């Protein structure tokens, strides 16, 4: 018996899939959003919540431009989500700091910024390298271990859990059919479209967009898409609430609007293990206390591990299958930062068929270059 028919199926209901589903619905497509369920690996529920520009794109200039574009789209996007869902995602863009605890760290950071500045051309790259004295003027309570850092006025943060809820709420309000607890098992090209097989259903769709995070790799293989993502664990600690004190997010420490302080995060190659370890928690806490000694007075109340969706060069993969046009893959490790651009700029390109041309530098074909 034929199942439901949609213009597009988005497979994976994390931050990436929810933003894409919303954008496709904005473009007038009928959309079904499938999500595997609570036991799945979900980066979207375990991240640090930064909307972060500085330092990104040294390996790919287009990524630096794209990240900045998303940051610029964020204020309007957050206002729109609030209007449509009543949810405040607590977006703030006060500018962010990266703080260095040794001269070697600072030199390496400054070299990355020089590279980004040089590749940006006449437009420049809006990020400053700051010495300790200037940092102390801007960030009260800085520890003696901080030797310098970098500042970018376009950096900010959001509440990522409310963001996920708001993206899905806005998508539902646009008519997206959200199917929780439903895993896409088989995707078959049907000539002009695709059949998506789940445990209970067979859906007929015109386009299919793989946004299944680490689950996209095996699904992509069914429709001629290479999605070479791998897990990278990050651990995060959360302290008890404190009075408002840190006005700017930093790469490793930020205060939420509720007063808690997030400390993180690690970069670990441990396969699909989402656990936590005392050794990494110790390192995170020790660095945080060297950065802001007053943090030693706060209790840590929670900690978790989550898996990043990493590509080989850390930049996003946006692709359409050459063998089966209409099948797309979207994978990235900055799904909070890029949520605005995904909904407002990437999804329209998927809807109107211009992705392959407009986002060519982001194709996974960049990993297939032959060495001579």
**Residue with Cβ nearer ligand FAD (308 or 324):** 308
Q: Are 13 and 38 in contact (CB under 8 A)?
A: no
50 binds ligand FAD (CB under 6 A): yes
Closest by CA position to 163, among listed 342, 330, 29: 342
DSSP 255-276: E-TTS-EEEE---B--TT----
In whole angstroms, how close is the CB of 220 to ligand FAD at the nearest point? Answer: 11
Q: Which of 42, 109, 154, 324 binds ligand FAD (CB under 6 A)?
A: 42
d(CA 73, CA 331): 20
Q: How many CB atoms lie within 10 A of CB 211?
A: 30
In whole angstroms, how close is the CB of 258 to ligand FAD at the nearest point? Answer: 17
**Residue with Cβ nearer ligand FAD (148 or 213):** 213
In whole angstroms, how close is the CB of 136 to ligand FAD at the nearest point? Answer: 25
Stretch binding ligand FAD (CB under 6 A), from 121-129, 137-145, 284-292, 333-341? 333-341
In whole angstroms, how close is the CB of 192 to ligand FAD at the nearest point? Answer: 23
H-assigned helices in the chain? 15-26, 61-85, 103-120, 132-138, 160-173, 216-221, 278-291, 339-341, 347-352, 355-358
Q: Which of 78, 184, 288, 347 binds ligand FAD (CB under 6 A)?
A: 184
**Residue with Cβ nearer ligand FAD (118 or 226):** 226
Stretch binding ligand FAD (CB under 6 A), from 8-16, 64-72, 97-105, 294-302? 8-16
316 binds ligand FAD (CB under 6 A): no
For the chain, helix (H) and strand (E) counts, in that order, are 10, 17
H-assigned helices in 121-208? 132-138, 160-173
**Residue with Cβ nearer ligand FAD (225 or 332):** 332
Q: Which of 6, 9, 10, 12 binds ligand FAD (CB under 6 A)?
A: 12
310 binds ligand FAD (CB under 6 A): no
In whole angstroms, how close is the CB of 183 to ligand FAD at the nearest point? Answer: 4
d(CA 155, CA 149): 14
In whole angstroms, how close is the CB of 339 to ligand FAD at the nearest point? Answer: 8
44 binds ligand FAD (CB under 6 A): yes
Stretch binding ligand FAD (CB under 6 A), from 73-81, 106-114, 278-286, 330-338? 330-338
Q: Which H/E stretch holds residue 100?
A: strand 96-100
225 binds ligand FAD (CB under 6 A): no
d(CA 316, CA 364): 9
332 binds ligand FAD (CB under 6 A): yes
* Helix axes 160-173 and 61-85, enclosed angle (nearest 10): 70
Which residue reads 């900055």 in tokens? Answer: 334
Q: Are 33 and 178 in contact (CB under 8 A)?
A: yes
Q: Which of 106, 222, 335, 342 binds ligand FAD (CB under 6 A)?
A: 335
Q: Are 323 and 335 in contact (CB under 8 A)?
A: no
212 binds ligand FAD (CB under 6 A): yes
Closest by CA position to 96, among listed 47, 63, 56: 56
- Bridge-partner residues for 327, per DSSP? 208
13 binds ligand FAD (CB under 6 A): yes
The interface with ligand FAD within residues 21-40 (CB under 6 A) comprises 34-37, 40
265 binds ligand FAD (CB under 6 A): yes
**Residue with Cβ nearer ligand FAD (43 or 295):** 43
Closest by CA position to 289, among listed 236, 338, 342, 252: 252
CA distances from 232 to 45, 190, 302 (A): 15, 35, 20
Stretch binding ligand FAD (CB under 6 A), from 5-13, 72-80, 130-138, 346-354? 5-13
Site for ligand FAD, rule CB under 6 A: 11-17, 34-37, 40-44, 46-50, 52, 183-184, 211-213, 215, 219, 234, 236, 265, 306-309, 332-337
């Amino acid at each position: 018996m034929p199942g439901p028919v949609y213009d597009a199926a988005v497979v994976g209901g994390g931050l990436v899939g929810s933003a894409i589903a919303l954008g496709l619905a904005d473009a007038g497509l009928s959309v079904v959003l499938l999500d595997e369920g609570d036991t799945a690996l979900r980066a979207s529920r375990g991240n640090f919540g930064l909307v972060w520009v500085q330092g990104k794109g040294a390996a790919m200039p287009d990524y630096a431009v794209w990240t900045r574009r998303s940051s610029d789209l964020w204020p309007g996007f957050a206002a729109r989500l609030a209007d449509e869902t009543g949810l405040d995602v607590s977006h703030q863009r006060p500018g962010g700091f990266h703080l260095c605890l040794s001269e070697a760290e600072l030199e390496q950071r400054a070299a990355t910024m020089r590279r980004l500045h040089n590749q940006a051309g006449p437009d420049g790259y809006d990020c400053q390298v700051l010495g300790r004295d200037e940092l102390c003027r801007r960030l009260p309570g800085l520890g003696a271990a901080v030797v310098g850092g970098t500042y970018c006025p376009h950096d900010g943060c959001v509440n990522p859990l409310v963001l996920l809820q708001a993206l899905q709420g806005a998508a539902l309000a646009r008519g997206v059919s959200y199917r929780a607890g439903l895993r896409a098992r088989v995707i078959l090209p049907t000539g002009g479209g695709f059949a998506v097989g789940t445990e209970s259903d067979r859906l007929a769709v015109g386009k299919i967009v793989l946004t299944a995070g680490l689950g996209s790799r095996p699904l992509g293989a069914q429709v001629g898409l290479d999605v070479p993502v791998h897990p990278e664990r990050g651990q995060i600690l959360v302290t008890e609430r404190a009075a408002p004190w840190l006005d700017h997010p930093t790469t490793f420490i930020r205060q939420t609007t509720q007063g808690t302080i997030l400390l993180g995060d690690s970069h670990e190659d441990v396969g699909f293990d989402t656990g936590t370890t005392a050794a990494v928690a110790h390192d995170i806490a020790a660095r945080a206390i060297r950065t802001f000694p007053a943090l030693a007075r706060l209790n840590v109340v929670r900690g978790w591990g989550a898996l990043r969706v990493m590509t080989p060069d850390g930049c996003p993969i946006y692709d359409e299958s050459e063998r089966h046009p209409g099948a797309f893959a979207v994978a990235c490790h900055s799904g909070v930062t890029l949520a605005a651009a995904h909904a407002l700029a990437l999804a329209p390109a998927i809807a109107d068929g211009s992705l392959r041309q407009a986002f060519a530098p982001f194709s996974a074909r960049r990993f297939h270059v032959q060495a001579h």
